[in-house]
Amino acid sequence: MRHVALTSPLNRFVVMPTTAIIGGGFSGTLAAVNLARFATSPQRVVIVNSGRPFGRGTAYGTTRGEHLLNVAARNMSAFPDQPTHFFEWLRSRSEFDAIDDHTLRETFIPRRIFGDYVRGMAAHYLGTADPRSHVQCEVVEDSAVDVIPRGVEPGSNQGGVVMLEKGEPIEAESILLATGNQPPAGLPGAKKLANDRRYCGNPWKDWHENLPSEDQHIVILGTGLTAVDVIVTLRNKGWNGKVTAISRNGMLPQRHFRGIEWPHAVPDDGQTRSLKELVKLIRSDCERLRGVSQNPAIAVDKLRGRTQQLWKALSLEERQLFLKKYSADWNVIRHRIAGPIHDAITDALDCGQLTITPATIESLASGEHGIEIQMVNRDGSSDRIEGDLVINCTGPKSRFSDSALPLYRNLFERGLAQPDEMDMGIAVTDNFTVVGKDDTPTPFMYAIGPILKGTLWESIAVPELRQQAYLVAQSILHQEPVTVSSLDTTEYCI
């Protein structure tokens, strides 16, 4: 077993095991920070970061001030054991001095500022300023493409070697997969448009630097949170041309709101309930809320702390049914947007600039005057629309068994990992250990973040990710997990 040697002040060599973290976004950075917080002996941490700025990832790597957090400041601490940490950090910034505490707690902060927060924590905890730190951290800008186990027998715990696309291999005793979402799923015909400036397959690129004239037409593929980002950026830049957004359900995210104290729809009595029973309970609760002139989304929010537990208790067939029948409505209610963002979208709709089209996209093709989009409407009729700029905001690819990422293809082929039952991510144990071929855990490999969505369902937002980063660090360090009591994750303001 290879260890990195560190010379101590007494000129003795101390063993320094290595943890390789694949992914330098929010989840990977917070896992490294927690390793630094909890380590009681020397540790080496190597973070492999690719594609987006280290510590910021995709969501918090935006430079646009109009892109706001979807959660109020009061619930955005990076640490489950320090719930006011982000709020206190905001108090260190002069631009918030004039805002009283209550208002600041309920404010939806620009995402780029939250990126500053995460990056600042990385500098503090992973840097060299604190002589008490046991962690030596290194960030490698590269892409991990494979992991080669050091043990011969399946399930051996001798660590592995992370193979990089360009750089030298990284030997590690522990490896954490924190790769975030997969790239967007390819649409039929999109490959042929790779070099067409009228098509943007990645909405996080600088598409807004070369907008068409205002007498032309922009088409957004999708109506979720990323599509909302595109719309508010267009309005912020003063672009007044026509915009059409297309999605199967034709639904936009809802607005955050002020709610009331309310009991849980599903009793926490230890009973396992079927999907049918859960639907009945939640629908009844929604009706009661409407009866007192309250937003039925309160029923969904009150389940937040138990959503993972309820999801894991469902059968595979029930989870699949939920995806098919209920997930679109759930996501619109659950993933809401800040008031100023919702106002901008509403204004765009009211003035006729924005049109929402519920349809299924069949194919994309390069036309003489624009990108041609072939689609099927809800009534089954075929239709075609043309865009002078088309932006793919359909979201990340969900299927993992045919992932386009070399890392996961190789992990599956080696039997070190396997897709979860839902094929929405990778399979893990309760302590985030990756499960490989024949349901055998790979003891040196862990996973957190959106790649656990199939296992946990609720696994993409800060309240869940901070808990995962906190717990997985303790697992890697072989420490007993420290339970942190947490209040309900209430997204609305009371």
Is residue 442's pLDDT more than 50?
yes
**What pLDDT is attached to residue 228?**
97
**What pLDDT is attached to residue 459?**
94
Average pLDDT over residues 69-95: 96
Work out the end-to-end distance of the chain between its first and last CA atoms, rounded to an integer number of angstroms: 54
Average pLDDT over residues 82-97: 96
257-267 tens-digit pLDDT = 988 999 999 99
- Reading the block at residue 396, the tokens are 């990340």
**What pLDDT is attached to residue 43?**
95
Is residue 14's pLDDT more than 60?
no
Is residue 180's pLDDT more than 70?
yes
Q: How many CB atoms lie within 10 A of CB 425?
A: 27
Is residue 407's pLDDT more than 50?
yes
CA 114 vs CA 412, 458, 465: distances in Å: 34, 21, 15
**What pLDDT is attached to residue 489?**
66
**At 12, is the pLDDT very low, low, confident or very high (cuts 50, 70, 90)?**
very low
Average pLDDT over residues 57-66: 92
- Reading the block at residue 329, the tokens are 């409505």
Q: Buried b vs exposed e over 320-359: b needs ≥16 C-beta within 10 Å?
A: ebbbeeeeeeeebbbbbbbeebbebbeebeeeebbebbeb
**At 152, is the pLDDT very low, low, confident or very high (cuts 50, 70, 90)?**
low
202-254 tens-digit pLDDT = 898 889 988 999 999 999 999 999 999 999 999 999 999 999 999 999 999 99
318-354 tens-digit pLDDT = 999 999 999 999 999 999 999 999 999 999 999 999 9
- Reading the block at residue 136, the tokens are 């030596």
Predicted structure pTM score: 0.92
Question: pLDDT averaged over the chain?
Answer: 92
H or E stretch including 391?
strand 389-392
H-assigned helices in 93-168? 101-105, 111-126
**How open is the CA angle 349-351-356, to the nearest 5 degrees?**
25
**What pLDDT is attached to residue 423?**
96
Percent of the chain with pLDDT over 70: 94
H or E stretch including 407?
helix 406-414
Given a contact cutoff of 8 angstroms between Cβ atoms, the answer to whether 408 and 452 are in contact is no
Alpha-carbon distance of 205 to 209, in angstroms, equals: 9
Is residue 473's pLDDT more than 90?
yes
Scan for tokens 């963002």, then name that residue.
341
Given a contact cutoff of 8 angstroms between Cβ atoms, the answer to whether 167 and 142 are in contact is yes
Q: Residue 69's closest CA among 105, 33, 24, 35?
A: 105
Q: Which residues pair with 359 in a beta bridge?
A: 377
Alpha-carbon distance of 177 to 450, in angstroms, equals: 11
How many CA atoms, within 13 angstroms, populate the side-chain half-sphere of residue 284? 10
- Backbone angles phi and psi of 75, in degrees to 5: -115, 25
Alpha-carbon distance of 198 to 218, in angstroms, equals: 9
